[in-house]
Amino acid sequence: MKVTILGAGTMGASIAQLAATAGDDAVARDVGEAQLERARAAVRRSLARFVRAGRLTDAEAQAAFQRIRFTTDLTGALDGAEVVIESITEVRELKQELLAEVAERAPAEALLGTNTSQLSITSLATALGAQAHRLVGIHFFNPPVMMRLVEVIAGLLTPHEVVARARAFGEHLGREVVVCRKDSPGFITSRAYAILRLECVRMVEEGVATPQDVDTAMKLGFNFPMGPLELGDMNGLDTFLNALNGLSEAYGERFRPSVGLKNMVAAGRLGRKAGAGFYEYDEHGRRA
């Protein structure tokens, strides 16, 4: 199966690795060579960790990497694709612009998915015009190669058979799949977790506890694998802010971003990718 991922950032590169490890031919497409080189390096590091952990052999890791093609060519990336997953930044207009191109160039039988964590599938699908029914939400969790869950979201026009194909694809990748049957912003997971993450941000801003103590409390008290503030740094605080803006537009005051979070993003403290967020990071992305 040829799986094309549009966007080779943190999520997109990991989705490509997941598909390649499952035996698929994966294509990771992005607009610039610099981002593709970062994606190559990230996949190499991730596969090396799997080898050290005994979850892959050297030969299996090398074979998986060889099954990933990194490219800036959108038409070539879509040619012959059986599954296409959009995984660019959480900005509705950017996603719609790309999805409109995908609808024109992708094979008519290809499954079209978006990895959005909170934007309305129905709203994104308007960019596809008469093909709006083809779009389905296929929401992976960071990092996709480790997280067992995939959330499938049906848009208002998404037929049952498209939802079923998306579920089957997630299961093919070895993931547990849940289905959000009503296209409400935030779906199941992002809607619930955004409130918790936002409250953790507010506690830090109010001086209730340090980021480290908040994260430790969440990990040890609730068995979270990663603290909410650590996760924010890993995913990008700009991404979290964009998600909150969308959720507050849909649900009102309870999701309104804090002033402190807005200021962090404005100051360029976006998390690990910028070297600073709630924590400081060295040039290798390790917490300083």
User: pLDDT by residue (tens digit) across 58-99?
Assistant: 999 999 999 999 999 999 999 999 999 999 988 889 999 999
pLDDT for position 176: 97
Average pLDDT for the chain: 95
**pLDDT-based confidence at 3, cuts 50/70/90?**
very high
On whether both 102 and 234 belong to a single domain, the answer is no
223 falls within a domain? yes
185 falls within a domain? no
On whether both 42 and 90 belong to a single domain, the answer is yes
On whether both 194 and 173 belong to a single domain, the answer is no
Q: Assign residue 129 a region (left: φ > 0; alpha: ψ between -120 and 50; beta: otherwise).
A: left
Evaluate if residue 232 carries a pLDDT over 90: yes
> Residue 25: what are its φ and ψ, rounded to 5°?
-85, 115
On whether both 62 and 18 belong to a single domain, the answer is yes
279 falls within a domain? no
Which residue range(s) make up the domain with 166? 2-180
On whether both 209 and 173 belong to a single domain, the answer is no
Arithmetic mean of pLDDT, 201-209: 97
Amino acid letter for position 284: H
On whether both 110 and 223 belong to a single domain, the answer is no
Contacting residues for 81 by C-beta, under 8 A, at least 6 apart: 2, 3, 4, 27, 106, 107, 110
On whether both 32 and 159 belong to a single domain, the answer is yes
Looking from the CA of 100 toward its CB, the CA atoms found within 13 Å total: 10
Amino acid letter for position 226: M
On whether both 147 and 213 belong to a single domain, the answer is no
Percent of the chain scoring above 90 in pLDDT? 86
| Contact status, residue 178 vs residue 234, Cβ threshold 8 Å | no
CATH number assigned to the domain comprising residue 107: 3.40.50.720
Percent of the chain scoring above 70 in pLDDT? 100
Evaluate if residue 50 carries a pLDDT over 90: yes
On whether both 76 and 127 belong to a single domain, the answer is yes
pLDDT for position 28: 98
CATH number assigned to the domain comprising residue 234: 1.10.1040.10
On whether both 40 and 162 belong to a single domain, the answer is yes
On whether both 26 and 79 belong to a single domain, the answer is yes
> Residue 257: what are its φ and ψ, rounded to 5°?
-60, 145
**pLDDT-based confidence at 47, cuts 50/70/90?**
very high
Evaluate if residue 288 carries a pLDDT over 90: no
Evaluate if residue 154 carries a pLDDT over 90: yes
Q: List the one residue out of 145, 179, 143 whose CA is nearest residue 162.
A: 179
Q: What is the DSSP letter of 269?
A: -
pLDDT for position 246: 84
Evaluate if residue 243 carries a pLDDT over 90: no
37 falls within a domain? yes
Evaluate if residue 163 carries a pLDDT over 90: yes
pLDDT for position 63: 98
Given 180, 208, 240, the domain boundary residue is: 180
Distance, CA of 62 to CA of 65 (rounded, Å):
5
283 falls within a domain? no
**pLDDT-based confidence at 118, cuts 50/70/90?**
confident
Arithmetic mean of pLDDT, 243-255: 90
* Cis before 143 (ω within 30): yes
CA angle at 77 for the pair 159 and 100, rounded to the nearest 5° = 50
Strand order in the sheet with 2-6: 68-71, 25-29, 2-6, 83-86, 111-114, 135-140, 149-153, 176-180
284 falls within a domain? no
Q: Tell me the CA distances in angstroms from 90 to 117, 119, 203, one per residue in order.
A: 8, 8, 25
pLDDT for position 144: 95
Arithmetic mean of pLDDT, 132-138: 97
Q: Tell me the CA distances in angstroms from 210 to 68, 218, 226, 239, one per residue in order.
A: 41, 12, 16, 22
Q: Which residue has the tokens 């892959």?
A: 56
Integer Rg of the chain from CA: 19
Given 152, 180, 208, the domain boundary residue is: 180
281 falls within a domain? no
On whether both 82 and 202 belong to a single domain, the answer is no
Evaluate if residue 121 carries a pLDDT over 90: yes
**pLDDT-based confidence at 237, cuts 50/70/90?**
very high
Distance, CA of 77 to CA of 61 (rounded, Å):
22
Evaluate if residue 201 carries a pLDDT over 90: yes
Given 150, 180, 210, the domain boundary residue is: 180
pTM flag (> 0.75): yes
| Contact status, residue 218 vs residue 228, Cβ threshold 8 Å | yes
56 falls within a domain? yes
- The number of folded domains in the chain is 2
- Return the structure tokens found at 185: 């912003």
Contacting residues for 246 by C-beta, under 8 A, at least 6 apart: 90, 92, 118, 119, 185, 186
User: What residues pair up with 243 in beta bridges, in sequence order?
Assistant: none
Q: Tell me the CA distances in angstroms from 276 to 209, 234, 250, one per residue in order.
A: 19, 10, 30
Arithmetic mean of pLDDT, 235-244: 90
